[in-house]
Structure 1
Amino acid sequence: MAADCGGLRRRRPLVEAAHRDGRLRGLYPYLSHGMLRLSTELGRQGAREIQICPVTGGSYRVEDTASGGGVRNAVTLAEAIDSAADLLQNTARPGREE
């Protein structure tokens, strides 16, 4: 059996679910520190991110790094994706026209 490089096999469903959701497709995804980070700007440190982090027990923590963006807890992957999209829509994105 091949090695699971940094838990990539465990994170694959998360990455695939985010990719399938059209509301999140305009973001730039990357995996870091065990979570999926969806950045609003490619290559800019400190850019707004929606972060989806699997937590013990199979649930997820979803966080918006924008000032006052919020943190949500989700029981399922589908709920985490919906929360991420909701956070994205409910807080204006810096540097982009609404």
Structure 2
Amino acid sequence: MATENEGPRRKSSDLLNSDLYPDLIESGGLVSAILHASRANGIELGPVRPGSESKDSHFVSAVTDSDRGPMRISLGVEERWFSISIESNTHTWASGGTQDIASAIKVLETWQKGVSLQQLNTLFPFMHYDDLAQARELGDPVATQWRQILAEGDPFFSQTLLHTIHSNDRLRTLFPFLSHGTLRLARDHSDRTAGEIWITPLRTGEHQVESTTPGEPEKVIERADQVIDAVIELLDRP
């Protein structure tokens, strides 16, 4: 019996559209349906768990793992759709979807076997990836990310300063993000714990330079040509 805090136990039919997902209702939700369809197709995915900590998550989302990160399936609401996201700890490798649960499971199995992005797309044309994911797979996403940022720019960040930062041999090796006018330079594109340096233009025309590493002071730089020196100073801190 459910406790007072848990509330009444819900059934798959309470959350799933019977016209779209009769098979999932019969199985008891998405997680159970994936396990059932895997066995029926002779596929061994390993443990499959709900996609979130919500008590009803197992009805509508599921996650299993690969050597390159988690793989998620979630359900469409307005049409029968198994949305697939193949991820890592820092980014998405590929995404797509299908109306057929068996095809979705075969995508996960195929990725677990170690295929490349190109091979995955060839086998399952509904799975898509971008240039940055391809560059990550090849081991050098930094140059691709810089190329995209330099081409797209940001209305709140000086394009001249952006090119100046990129022209510095050392700063060009950092992985860049542009978000709401702030240029974020990641020390290691594969490790979020390695920290970032942020460059933010201020309304006064100055620039604030700061590190996400605890204990390191932020600086307000008066001239744009001093920004690079301030960033390198933060990089050189032990």
Q: TM-score range by the shorter chain?
A: 0.7 to 0.9
Unaligned runs of 5+ in 1: 93-98
The Cα offsets for residues 32-85 of structure 1, whole Å up to 9 and x where unpaired, read as: 121111001215445411111000121100001112122011011111121011
Is the partner of 1:31 in helix, strand or coil?
A: strand
Unaligned runs of 5+ in 2: 1-152
Residue number among 148, 151, 155 corresponding to 1:7 in the alignment: 155
| Contact 1:52/1:63, CA 8 A, preserved across alignment | yes
Matches within 5 A, 1:51-70: 51-70=198-217
- Alignment-derived partner of residue 186 in structure 2: 39
Determine the C-alpha separation between the residues in 2 that align with 1:75 and 1:13.
Answer: 16
Superposed displacement of residue 23, structure 1: 2.6
* Two-structure CA RMSD over aligned residues (Å): 2.2
Question: Is residue 2:229 matched to residue 1:85?
Answer: no
Determine the C-alpha separation between the residues in 1 that align with 2:181 and 2:198.
Answer: 10
Count of residues paired in the alignment: 87
Higher relative contact order (CA 8 A, sep 6+): 1
The runs of at least 4 consecutive aligned structure 1 residues that moved more than 3 Å come to 43-47
| Contact 2:154/2:178, CA 8 A, preserved across alignment | no
Q: Which has the larger radius of gyration?
A: 2
Q: Which moved more, 1:48-57 or 1:25-34?
A: 25-34
